[in-house]
Structures are given as structure tokens and as C-alpha cells.
């Protein structure tokens, strides 16, 4: 059984399991799925400094904080107990393309040539980690939610703004991966 959990799950198993969170949350308490709102709840709980944005009844959303804690703990357990020792399979064309930018180590889930403490304080590291983090946070706030909230919950409940946001997320990801990232990696 443990070997089955260690293997990547096919889309036709993982997708419906993720998709079933929407009706489960709606049936169990009329709750909406999303991760970015949990940061607001955490700030409202920890920093009640009189900021109007954080003045609301955050205790009603404690379930969301528990959900995010579960994601963190699940990730930690998976990283330490369920890692698959097999090497990561990367398409040969992508390996050749990334080698041009000096990315050759595919021994973990993230390319350590980019995501490491040594690379954090380089020009490309600062742009990707700090700049990217800011843009993700700003974008989630500006769009009224994150990709999981809009693409999973919003589309499932047929919300027009979620369709627009999801299309914009996809276009932004395409532009970043194909046009902007190569420029950053060449710095």
C-alpha cells in the first residue's frame, strides 16, 4: 500500500479527488475552497493592530487555518516519509533547453541550480524569489483569490470572475515560462 502512495497518481484519480473537495465543503458547511484567504485569517489572528482589513470575525474561518496546517503537515510527511528514490523523469528537449541556462541538476522536485540558499542572493534568485513572491501575493489579492480558489471552487460554482481570473492565470503562466523566465535565467 505504501508503494502505491509513493507513486505519482494519474490525473483521473487525483483530479476527481481534488474536485470532490468543492461539494464536500459546500455540503459540510457552505464553505468555499481557497488558500490565499488563510493568510488574511492568520494576520487577523496574530496582528490585531487596528487595520480595518483585518477587523472581521476571523474565528469563524478557523477551519481554513486548520486546512492549511494540514497541507503543510501533509507536505512535510510526504517529503520525509514518502519520497520516491527513483530519479525524476524530465523530457529530453526540456533538459537540453535548461542546460543552456546552467540548469542540469534534476535530482529533486525543484531544480537546485535555481532554488537554493546559494542562489537566493544572486540577481536572478532575488527576482524569482522576492519579486515572484510579491507578484503572486499581489495578484492573488487583486484577483480576489488564488489559483486554487478560482480554478477549483470558482469554476465549479460557475462564477464568471473566476473564469476570467483562471484564463489570466494561464496566460500569465505561459508568458512567464516561455518569455520572461528565459530572460531571468540568462542574468
pLDDT digits (tens, 9 = 90+) for 173-182: 999 989 998 8
Is 105 inside any structural domain?
Answer: no
Residue 108 belongs to some domain of the structure: no
| pTM as predicted | 0.74
* Same-domain status, 46 and 5: yes
Domain boundary among the residues 60, 83, 106 is at 83
Q: Which structural domain, as residue segments, surrounds residue 178?
A: 114-187
pLDDT tier, 187 (very low <50, low <70, confident <90, very high otherwise)? confident
Domain match, 1 and 72 both: yes
- 138 and 182 co-located in one domain: yes
Does 26 map to a domain?
A: yes
- Cβ atoms of 33 and 21 within 8 Å: the answer is yes
Average pLDDT of the residues in 48-70? 85
Share of the chain above pLDDT 70, in %: 99
Does the residue 17 lie in any domain? yes
**Is residue 186 one of the residues assigned to a domain?**
yes
Residues 130 and 55 in one domain: no
pLDDT digits (tens, 9 = 90+) for 95-152: 898 898 888 888 777 788 888 888 888 888 888 888 888 888 888 888 888 888 898 8
21 and 72 share one domain = yes
Q: Per the domain annotation, does 93 fall within a domain?
A: no
pLDDT of residue 159: 93
Q: Average pLDDT over the chain, rounded to whole? A: 86
- Take residue 70 and report the three cell numbers written for it: 494540514
Give domain status of residue 92, yes or no. Answer: no
Say how many domains are in the chain. 2
Residue 166 has pLDDT above 90, yes or no: yes
118 and 166 assigned to the same domain = yes
Give 160's pLDDT tier (boundaries 50, 70, 90).
very high
In a domain, residue 90? The reply is no
- How confident is residue 48, by pLDDT bands cut at 50, 70 and 90? low
6 with 79, same domain: the answer is yes
For residues 7 and 75, membership in a common domain is answered with: yes
Residues 48, 125 share a domain? no
Amino acid at each position: 500500500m505504501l508503494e502505491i502512495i509513493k507513486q505519482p497518481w494519474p490525473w483521473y484519480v487525483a483530479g476527481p479527488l481534488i474536485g470532490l473537495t468543492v461539494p464536500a465543503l459546500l455540503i459540510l458547511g457552505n464553505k468555499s475552497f481557497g488558500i490565499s484567504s488563510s493568510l488574511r485569517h492568520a494576520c487577523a489572528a496574530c496582528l490585531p493592530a487596528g487595520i480595518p482589513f483585518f477587523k472581521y470575525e476571523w474565528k469563524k474561518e478557523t477551519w481554513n487555518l486548520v486546512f492549511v496546517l494540514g497541507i503543510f503537515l501533509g507536505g512535510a510527511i510526504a517529503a520525509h516519509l514518502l519520497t520516491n528514490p527513483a530519479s525524476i523523469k524530465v523530457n529530453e528537449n526540456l533538459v537540453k533547453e535548461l542546460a543552456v541556462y546552467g540548469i542540469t541538476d534534476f535530482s529533486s522536485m525543484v531544480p537546485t541550480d535555481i532554488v537554493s540558499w546559494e542562489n537566493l542572493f544572486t540577481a536572478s534568485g532575488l527576482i524569482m524569489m522576492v519579486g515572484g513572491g510579491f507578484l503572486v501575493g499581489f495578484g492573488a489579492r487583486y484577483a480576489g483569490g488564488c489559483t486554487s480558489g478560482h480554478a477549483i471552487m470558482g469554476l465549479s460554482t460557475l462564477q464568471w470572475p473566476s473564469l476570467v481570473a483562471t484564463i489570466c492565470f494561464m496566460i500569465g503562466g505561459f508568458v512567464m515560462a516561455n518569455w520572461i523566465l528565459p530572460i531571468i535565467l540568462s542574468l
